[in-house]
Amino acid sequence: MLLFAGLGNPGTKYAGNRHNVGFMAADAIARRHSFSPWSRKFQAEIAEGKIGGERVLLIKPQTFMNLSGQSVGEALRFYKLDASAVTVFYDEIDLVAGKVRVKVGGGSGGHNGIRSLDQHIGNAYRRVRIGVGHPGIKEMVHGHVLGDFSKADREWLDVLLDSIADSADLLAKGDDAGFMNRVTVALRDKLQPTGPDDAPPRKKKPGAQSHIRQARPQPPVAKLPESGPMAAMLKKLFGKD
């Protein structure tokens, strides 16, 4: 059995916060893989299901972020699992918004939810770090993470959450590199539209006669935004000017 934990703060007041992107990832996984309805146990909301043939318990601690380890530790002891069975989804200000990185172990990086987990279950668990960007000034970090994602953010956030859910089977199999690659490719493909000029040339049918035809108007080529938050994020993610 595996335990997938999404970190966040309970209540509608915090539902749209960047700090709650772990909850959002857990919800996306539950929807994509048809988990059971959410119920209450272990000071958390939990749902059960299967991903990639593995039984998985999804858990969203309701203890508030700073005490997340209490809830996850309780579930871990109940099922007699060790920390290696745990995968945690959470916000990471040291990653560009939209980037995802996976690692096992390490420090808390100043994240209070991770610090709490380290205290209760050790640090030998997998971390799925979901980039929410840094405001640029240390004094603005608190307001940044407890601020809601903007309307422009939703353009990449919804794609990212769907990609995480679609790729969760690779996490269940322990293929961290494959998971990161699939999520990155999905973001690139869905956020960088292609136009008719990107399609390969059609091959002429055998015996086709050469003749002049009136050119039909072509639909406009989809273009990436040249300015604004979406353009800046795409440039950081994929190196596009």
Give the residue numbers annotated as catalytic, written as ranges: 19
Three-state secondary-structure class, residue 195? coil
Distances (CA, A) of 55 to 36, 163, 192, 199: 12, 20, 35, 42
Start-end of H helices in 79-140: 112-121
* Nearest to 25, CA basis, from 109, 214, 203, 35: 35
Phi, psi of 111 (to 5 degrees): -85, 120
Distance CA 102, CA 89 (A): 9
